[in-house]
Chains A and B, each alone.
Chain A
Amino acid sequence: MALNLTFNSSNPPLGALLTAEHVKGSVNLSVEEGKDTMLHVSDQVQFSDVNSITRYLARVAPALGLYGSNMMEQTEVDHWLEFSARRLCGQSDLSSALADLDKALALRTFLVGRSVTLADLCIWAALKGNGESQAKPSSHPHLCRWFSFLSSQVPFSSVGSKWASKVSASKAASVEK
């Protein structure tokens, strides 16, 4: 059965859209604008929070390795999913979170293992949506290297150019209110 992801284009869930782009060649998935963010799996099962949506999509496309390749990598991916939701999204002071990310990336190309995982997708999306300007090459050299490396690749570049400005706009609007 086909999966269907809907999202509100005035506040697009970048992490979920990026994961959808990664799995779309492997999974029968349609993506369309709607009222709320929701992954419709069946009449009995729908996921509405971004971490559940990305976890489910990674699990139905196991060959892509988006959830890591062994249980230790899976656990690291879990760590970064929570990190993105709790320490990056909705936080005004990111200084300690950015320092932690920079340290974690000092000896790594990707956050977990040797290829892209949900950890990269969700952290990248949270930074992109949060105005990445807070990360400075002088104080976060590894984070900035990793961020620009991912940003230059499809689908990061396409999702970023299409939706990131909408996220920033909706954040600014909610601050003004």
Chain B
Amino acid sequence: DAVLRGTADLDDLLGKDLGALRDIVINANPAQPPLSLLVLHALLCQRFQVLSSVHVHSSVSTVPAPLLSCLGPRHTHSYARHRFQLGFTLIWKDVSKLQMKFSTQNMCPIEGEGNVARFLYRLLGAEPRDPVSATLMDGWVDTALFQLAEGGSKERAAVLRALNAALGRSPWLLGQEFSLADIVSACCVLQTGQTSSAPANVQRWLKSCQNLGYFSCVDPLLQ
């Protein structure tokens, strides 16, 4: 029943477990909640034991309640960190660009929602092996975040037309398989709040995405 068929082994992907919790720390601005990362968090929780927590940095004064509960109910047994395979720590902070810190000994801080989304998707082991599909997927992620979420009305309309054309040819953006391209693009369409005026294929596809269940976590943030 799993929609993503990848096989992910964290030791294979990240190197041998050295005993400490592998904690993914994300600094995000509450003015631009990273919806795609919440969907990916839901997918990760299905695959791994994830210790999730939300914090508010001192640079931010108040945060709406839905943002505080966006990763689900708080763990009551957080003292047993060794029982978890992954940590997912979301910090609402006044940052100009979303940032992820992970394995800081080996890795530079990663900027940009799309790049963090790509990282989380790789943890699921679901990245397409075929170079064309993988590159098309990366292209849709960039298009959604830079032209749909940030672009003006003309750019937005052009992306919606491109989405509609692609979704007229196949059920998902890459063809028969649901992928990160669908996750990020659907979240950006939902975030623009123009779902009722979107073209027909886009509306049908949004319903298919929402039927998967992983998108229910973003609903409280769209009110």
Contacts and interface: CB of A to CB of B under 8 A. Distances in A.
Interface of A: 41, 45, 47, 49, 51-52, 55-56, 59-60, 70-72, 74-76, 78-79, 82-83, 86, 104
B112 A79 contact: yes
Contacts of A55: 134-135, 138
B73 interface: no
Q: Is the interface of A mostly helix, strand, loop or mixed?
A: helix
**Most chain B CB atoms below 10 A, which of A41, A45, A60, A82:** A82
Given A47-B139, A51-B142, A55-B135, A82 B119 contact: no
B135 A79 contact: no
Nearest to A104: B108
Nearest to B8: A71
B138 A51 contact: yes
**Most chain A CB atoms below 10 A, which of B15, B108, B123, B139:** B108
B13 interface: yes
Interface residues of B, number: 26
Contact of A83 (B107, B111, B134): B111
Contacts, number: 67
Contacts of B15: 70
Contacts of B14: 70-72
A44 to B, nearest CB: 9
A41 B132 CA distance: 9
Given A60-B131, A70-B15, A79-B111, 11 more contacts: A47-B135, A49-B139, A52-B135, A52-B138, A71-B119, A72-B14, A72-B103, A72-B107, A75-B115, A75-B119, A79-B110
B134 A59 contact: yes
Given A49-B139, A71-B14, A72-B103, A78 B132 contact: no
Contacts of A56: 131-132, 135
A51 B132 CA distance: 13
A52 B132 CA distance: 10
Nearest to B131: A59
B94 to A, nearest CB: 16
Contacts of B161: none
**Most chain B CB atoms below 10 A, which of A55, A79, A86:** A79
A144 B146 CA distance: 30
Contacts of A82: 111-112, 114-115, 142
Contacts of B139: 47, 49, 52
